Amino acid sequence: MRRWLAAPTLFAALAFLSTQAELPAQDEGKPIEENFTTADGVRLKGLFHKAQKAAPGNPVVILMYEPGVGNSMDKPGDWAGFTKTLNDKGFHVFRFDWRGHGKSKDITDPNEFWTNPITGPWNKKYVKGFNKKPIKNDIDAKTDFVSLKGYTPIFINDLAAARAHLDGKNDQNDLSTSSVYLVGAGDSAGLGLLWMTGEWVRPAIHPVLGNGVIYKYVPTPGINVDPEAGRDIAGAVWLSGSRPPAFPELVIANWVKNQQKLRDNNPMLMLYGEKDETSKRAAGYFYNNVLVAKGNKALGIKALEQTFMSEVKGTNLKGAALLGNNAQLATEDTIMKYLEARQKDRAAIVRRERKYPGPYYFDLSNPSFGSFRP
């Protein structure tokens, strides 16, 4: 049987089912801490902040901090305060720790982690401990990463697991993944764009494959991807968005060039400090070179109407540091104005059951992503 149509392993089924178990009632204003597992067996920790009165369309926002030693879903930056702002406006919020960060340090299936054909070679190269006896079953960015910069592409599987987890909540009618927003800082913008690229080659609803076979690899050759999961991405906001060093400029440009639907259907807002020239140049790279947002008549490329660059006046702060001082910087006001306008256009989109039984891999060796190699 071809590897992309492999039957699920017991660990994957059990791990995913554990995330879908009945949860305790949420106290008003308090998040629910949730576990969910990546396709390669890393247990991630997340916080689900349920809006007490959801906006029309029941949307959800995924918050993404920049991966880095010492970073977590709580720092740096006022992510908690921004989460409250989102909830008050009717947006559910999900935030989580990347593998090796914060509380996401357990490997639930070491054999899958080290030997699977998709991320296994990356894990062996960039995470210490493959030959350790007994087999290593934890991961810490501070002590275990040979190179965080080199390993960054694999974090896309964490974001894929977060989406799969939210699809489970969608199927329980806790929210609707027909409108998913991303808000990310720094290099998480590059990761988000990579993930968005993959969502356009993944079916939004689990395909019927027969014989108990599950969809396990993105992309899977020969699988109908209509409707595409990329249509569920309602928008993205990048705080000083940047390109991770492991992502070549030409590769990123080709993602959008080869996937025109991403450019035309996934609007983005790129925020940067007025005095932060580095982030301004990075925003210009995404806006002009990658998205060609102003259009190009000679090439028949139309201008984008809902994708913008915008400077935060009077500051050189960057990334998550742009949050937490709304009275002076108005960052949160700017973001909310943008998100509310986008959701107004999507309020009537109907929630659909996704029926994914577990997480899946993003196969970065596929040409859709630029044929990444560890």
Q: What percent of the chain has pLDDT over 70?
A: 92
* Predicted local distance difference test score (pLDDT) of residue 21: 37
* Predicted local distance difference test score (pLDDT) of residue 65: 98
For the segment 278-307, the average pLDDT, to the nearest whole number, is 95
Structural domains counted in the chain: 1
The answer as to whether 92 is a domain residue is: yes
Q: Compute how many other C-beta atoms are within 10 angstroms of the C-beta atom of residue 297.
A: 8
Over 80: is that where the pLDDT of 20 sits?
A: no
pLDDT digits (tens, 9 = 90+) for 222-232: 999 999 999 99
pLDDT digits (tens, 9 = 90+) for 113-122: 999 999 999 9
**Stretch (H or E) spanning 189:** helix 188-199
Unique residue bearing structure tokens 């060093």: 245
Q: Which of 34, 54, 53 lies closest to 44 in space, CA to CA? A: 34
Secondary structure letter of residue 72 according to DSSP: B
Over 90: is that where the pLDDT of 27 sits?
A: no
Q: Which two tokens stand for residue 171?
A: 């199927």
The answer as to whether 207 is a domain residue is: yes
The answer as to whether 26 is a domain residue is: yes
* Predicted local distance difference test score (pLDDT) of residue 212: 87
Reduce the secondary structure of 253-292 to three states and give it as a string: HHHHHHCHHHHHHCCEEEEEECCCHHHHHHHHHHHHHHCC
The answer as to whether 241 is a domain residue is: no
Q: What are phi and psi of 212, to 5 degrees?
A: 70, 10
* Predicted local distance difference test score (pLDDT) of residue 299: 87
The answer as to whether 68 is a domain residue is: yes
Q: Compute how many other C-beta atoms are within 10 angstroms of the C-beta atom of residue 356.
A: 23
Secondary structure letter of residue 309 according to DSSP: E
Domain assignment of residue 338, given as a range:
3-234+331-369
239 SS3 class: strand
The answer as to whether 133 is a domain residue is: yes
Where are any strands of DSSP class E within the chain?
Answer: 32-37, 42-49, 60-64, 92-96, 106-107, 180-185, 217-218, 233-239, 268-273, 308-312, 361-362
pLDDT tier, 201 (very low <50, low <70, confident <90, very high otherwise): very high
Whole-angstrom distance, CA of residue 330 vs CA of residue 350: 32
pLDDT digits (tens, 9 = 90+) for 142-184: 999 999 999 999 999 999 999 999 999 999 999 999 999 999 9
β-bridge mates for residue 121, sequence order: none
84 SS3 class: helix
Whole-angstrom distance, CA of residue 214 vs CA of residue 41: 17
Unique residue bearing structure tokens 């395909």: 207
Over 90: is that where the pLDDT of 44 sits?
A: yes
Whole-angstrom distance, CA of residue 114 vs CA of residue 119: 8
Q: Compute how many other C-beta atoms are within 10 angstroms of the C-beta atom of residue 131.
A: 9
The answer as to whether 326 is a domain residue is: no
For the segment 24-44, the average pLDDT, to the nearest whole number, is 84
Over 90: is that where the pLDDT of 77 sits?
A: yes
Q: Compute how many other C-beta atoms are within 10 angstroms of the C-beta atom of residue 213.
A: 15
pLDDT digits (tens, 9 = 90+) for 229-244: 999 999 999 999 999 9
The dihedral through the CA atoms of 273, 279, 284, 286 has a sign that is: negative
Whole-angstrom distance, CA of residue 266 vs CA of residue 221: 24
* CA within 13 Å, CB half, 373: 0
Residue 47: CATH number of its domain:
3.40.50
For the segment 325-347, the average pLDDT, to the nearest whole number, is 98
For the segment 340-361, the average pLDDT, to the nearest whole number, is 97
Q: Provide the whole-model pTM.
A: 0.92
Whole-angstrom distance, CA of residue 328 vs CA of residue 150: 37
Whole-angstrom distance, CA of residue 143 vs CA of residue 266: 37
The answer as to whether 287 is a domain residue is: no
* Predicted local distance difference test score (pLDDT) of residue 206: 97
* Predicted local distance difference test score (pLDDT) of residue 5: 37
Whole-angstrom distance, CA of residue 37 vs CA of residue 45: 9
Cα-based distances in Å from 129 to 101, 104, 133, 135, 146 = 17, 17, 9, 8, 10
